[in-house]
Structure 1
Amino acid sequence: MPKRPLSFYFLAAFFGLFVLFLYGPMLGIFILSLQGPQGTLTFPMRGFSFYWLGQVFQEQRVGNFVDAFQRSLILGLVVTLIAAAVSVMAGLAFRNRFKGSVVVFYLTIASLIVPSILISLGIGIAFQVTGIPTNWFTSGLGAHLTWTVPFAFLIMLGVFNRFNPSYEEASRDLGASDSRTFWEIVFPLILPSLIGIGLLGFTLSYDEFTRTSLISGQRNTLPLEIFGMTTNVTSPALYALGTLTTLFSLAMIAIGFFSFQFFSKRQQE
């Protein structure tokens, strides 16, 4: 076996430190969330139990994790559906050049480069001018779509750029209408990519803080609720919430992955 150069060990050590820096804080939160009832926010641990995981579902001294989670879940699902639908329609439209397509493209992705806090402030002002009260759903939906739709749009452009139009031509030659061609030919082929877009859109919405910070109204989404509790909740319940939400995110990724694998295999059959 040839001797490895010194640079290999240097890069391996650097990569190990990178992984530790990336996942070390998360691991620390997981460990501290499994303390006993007398646990604190710092090491060393005081016992081992699942006590604080259960406390997440109880009423806190200030705020409520369960209600905030439900709001984030509902908002994330609605944002996912809208972003996916808009991205598909935009992807179909951009398959052919049309007048003003360049302007529409740059306007769509412009919100990605504008500071998030300005987006939140602008939406808040727009709602104030129109007399519509801001709340976690209506104004939050607008704020999250400015973040999720551009990403979904860019991904779908890449999907349709690789799409073979001969499948649609063959379908039309056999007498199928445009709508039937889409639902029976195009949609099944882009469905695995659409699942990935939906998963990304849900994650971006579920974790979004800055764009919702000024327009949530009296009821917070989960990221805002966590931020508000950092100065009031002095127990490992906050760490337990981080553990549970991470497990929830991993479950969503697993569902998305296996769904992608399932529909990809169906395409090959």
Structure 2
Amino acid sequence: MEKKKRPLSYYLLAGFFGLFVLFLYGPMSAVFILSLQGPEGNLTFPMKGFSFMWMQSVFEEQRVGNFTDAFWRSLCLGLIVMVLTVIFSVMSGMAFRSRFKGSNWIFYLTISSLIVPSILISLGIAVVFNLVGLESAWYTSALGAHLTWTIPFAFLIMLGIFGRFNPAYEEASRDLGANDVTTFWQIVFPLIVSSVVGVAFLSFTLSYDEFTRTSLASGDTNTLPLEIFGMTTNVTSPALYALGTLTTIFSFALIGLALLVITYLSNHQRKPKRG
């Protein structure tokens, strides 16, 4: 059988996609390579030796601050944001399945924080905390700033999920005598759990690498993005590149974990249950 010849547009689009991937991952590849230099390594090519010493130095005290404490702050903040975002987005998605008074105003107010410049939100939250006499910190004011970023995205996603949800499943559950709580946990949630996992990982990553909304609202404790920014003028060694390599590996590991969880849940839903 003669193989069908691909049109010219296929090769043009493939070439364009290849350039895009090179543009996206080319600089990251340079960072990965330069992070594997020896003790005499610097911030530019050519490489000087090969070792993993700069990877180890990331977990040690730097000349100004340290990466380890900042990483744990970002990790804890991201986990808190993830849990709160999932709760509020699922609740709001359920509420917006039916029209209610003021729903349009609430909708536009929720997504308006995606339009307002991030630095203004960070500044506004810091000013409010100062006026009411509260201390800004990563677990209070920065938490609020991050929620103004993650909840609107999760809210829009949940609107799309519930917009395709068939209410007949809930009606059948109620006809069999189940109350609203049982219907949600036994019928609704298992059907949307894969999407909820995706929303959870999205909100975590949005919080984990958020810089602008944290800059004026975190008080005197830095998250990892703020710590990296502060060290760019003080740490002139491949330790910054090593940190970039490790955080990238961490990010890809999260993506892989999310895909594994979603795949497992999807396969579990398709598997017939034995009565």
Shorter-chain TM-score: which interval?
A: over 0.9
Aligned with residue 186 of structure 1, among 166, 178, 188: 188
Q: Secondary structure at the match of 2:113?
A: helix
- The alpha carbon displacement at 1:15 in A equals 2.6
> Secondary structure of 1:30's partner?
helix
Q: Aligned residues: percent identity?
A: 70
CA distance in 1, matches of 2:20, 2:43: 25
Question: Which of residues 102, 110, 120 in structure 2 aligns to 1:118?
Answer: 120
Does 2:209 correspond to 1:207?
yes
Deviation by residue 1:81-129 (Cα, 9 ceiling, x = unmatched):
0000000000000001000000000000000000000111111111111
What corresponds to 1:69 in structure 2?
71
| Structure 1 pair 21–176 and aligned structure 2 pair: CA distance change class (3 A) | same
TM-score normalised according to structure 1 size: 0.97
Once the two structures are superposed, residues 23-46 of structure 1 have per-residue CA deviations (whole angstroms, 9 ceiling, x without a partner) of: 100110001011111111100111
Inter-partner Cα distance in structure 2 for 1:170 and 1:9: 51
When the two chains are superposed, the root-mean-square deviation of aligned CA atoms in Å is 1.2
Residue number in structure 2 paired with 1:99: 101
CA–CA distance in structure 2, aligned partners of residues 197 and 225 of structure 1: 27
- Give ranges in structure 1 of 5+ residues lacking alignment: none
CA distance in 2, matches of 1:86, 1:12: 41
Unaligned runs of 5+ in 2: none
Give the counterpart of 1:86 among 83, 88, 108.
Answer: 88
SS in 2 for 1:61: coil
Map residues 1-269 of structure 1 onto 2, 5 A cutoff.
1=3, 7-269=9-271
User: Normalization by structure 2: what TM-score?
Assistant: 0.95
Q: How many residue pairs were aligned? A: 269
Separation in 2, partners of 1:182, 1:14: 46
C-alpha deviations, 1:163-197, integer Å up to 9, x for none? 11111111111111110111111111111000000
